[in-house]
Amino acid sequence: MNLKHALAQAQQDVLHTLQRYFQTQQQTQPQLLAATQYCIENGGKRLRPFLVYAVGNMLAAHQDDLHKAAAAIECIHSYSLVHDDLPAMDDDELRRGRPTCHIAFDEAHAILAGDTLQTIAFELLSSTDFDIGASQQLALIRSLSQASGLLGMVGGQALDIAATDKAISLSELEHIHRLKTGALLSCAIKLGYLCSPNVENSTRAALDDYGRAIGLAFQVQDDILDVEGDTATLGKPQGSDVAANKSTYPALMGLDGAKDKMQHLYQQAIDAVCPLPYDTRVLEQLAGYIIARDH
């Protein structure tokens, strides 16, 4: 299966899984249900679900387990974006070209929709019909909790806020991004192998290396896109810091330095998975897509 097809399949599967879930929740307060569904039905690349499916399919996981794990991680990602868009954080009015949740509904419902999405994630992961054993299912829940929490995405967001208007070093920037965005991307890979039977430790370790490399590459490319998008629309000089109060890779390393860093991370990702005794082509293509993506 090629990358385009696999991404489209993941997008469709995660949407259907969550739409089926919402069908079982029709007694919920209607505005809250509408706001929560709005966040999920507002598209997105679904990269994290894609990674769960790609790894799980490569390792012969049970499809129904992958559907739940993929939907769970997308719910966490979606909640993080809804809360990140709130006036208290980034105060954004548009997400993926459409009004953000607090604009389409209101702030209270956006906060509650984010909270709801977070709890749905753990409800799905604690379903009683997983095909894997109880200890592996607990590991799924623990991995997603850790990647989302204090030493993961939320902790990274707090460090990012604390770094606003401060000069930070490259290693501090890397630490923030490994937590804020890298932890969840790496976790998607863990969920894929934790849904799979009999995965060797060496395979897990190689996939973890791949996850760490693409997690950081994703953020470096995000920073590059900010600069290049800004340069294209505003005529700013290349390598300038887009948001003057925020450290980015191009600001700290220059645009060429950031591109070199991304290329290096791409190579690390490829080197991690190439020796595995599985068909890793779609993971390799994904690493290429991450460093070449334009949105």
Nearest Cα residue to 239 out of 75, 248, 89: 248
If the CB atoms of residues 44 and 250 are measured against ligand GRG, the closer one turns out to be: 44
Contact (Cβ atoms closer than 8 angstroms) between residue 46 and residue 12: no
If the CB atoms of residues 148 and 203 are measured against ligand GRG, the closer one turns out to be: 148
Segment interacting with ligand GRG, rule: CB under 6 A, options 25-33, 65-73, 152-160, 273-281 = 152-160
In the region spanning residues 176 to 215, those forming contacts with ligand GRG, defined by CB under 6 A, are 180-181
Contact (Cβ atoms closer than 8 angstroms) between residue 143 and residue 191: yes
Kindly state the smallest distance separating residue 74's Cβ from ligand GRG, in Å. 8
Segment interacting with ligand GRG, rule: CB under 6 A, options 22-30, 40-48, 135-143, 194-202 = 40-48
* Residue 98: φ, ψ to 5°: -125, 160
How many whole angstroms separate alpha carbon 277 and alpha carbon 60? 13
Position with the least CB separation from ligand GRG: 44
How many whole angstroms separate alpha carbon 198 and alpha carbon 54? 17
Per-position DSSP letters for 49-68, written without gaps between them: HHHHHHHHHHTT--HHHHHH
Size of the site for ligand GRG (CB under 6 A): 15
If the CB atoms of residues 40 and 194 are measured against ligand GRG, the closer one turns out to be: 40
If the CB atoms of residues 62 and 155 are measured against ligand GRG, the closer one turns out to be: 155
**With b meaning 16 or more CB within 10 Å and e meaning fewer, what string describes 109-145?**
bbbbbbebbbebbbebbeeeebebeeebbebbeebbb
If the CB atoms of residues 59 and 217 are measured against ligand GRG, the closer one turns out to be: 217
Opening angle at CA 123, ends 34 and 104, nearest 5? 20
Per-position DSSP letters for 219-273, written without gaps between them: HHHHHHHHHHHHHHHH-PPTT--SSTTS--HHHHHHHHHHHHHHHHHHHHHHHHH
Dihedral angle of Cα 156, 17, 213, 175, to the nearest 10 degrees: 0
Among 64, 222, 228, 284, binds ligand GRG (CB under 6 A): 222
Opening angle at CA 109, ends 47 and 121, nearest 5? 40
Q: Does 45 bind ligand GRG (CB under 6 A)?
A: yes
Site string for ligand GRG, 108-147 (x = CB under 6 A): ----------------------------------------
How many whole angstroms separate alpha carbon 175 and alpha carbon 177? 5
Query: DSSP E strands: which ranges in 130-247?
Result: none
Among 100, 137, 157, 248, binds ligand GRG (CB under 6 A): 157
Enter the tokens of residue 111. 């906060």
Site string for ligand GRG, 71-110 (x = CB under 6 A): ---------xx-xx----x------x--------------
Kindly state the smallest distance separating residue 162's Cβ from ligand GRG, in Å. 14
Site string for ligand GRG, 270-289 (x = CB under 6 A): --------------------
Kindly state the smallest distance separating residue 225's Cβ from ligand GRG, in Å. 9
Binding stretches for ligand GRG (CB under 6 A): 44-45, 47, 80-81, 83-84, 89, 96, 153-154, 157, 180-181, 222
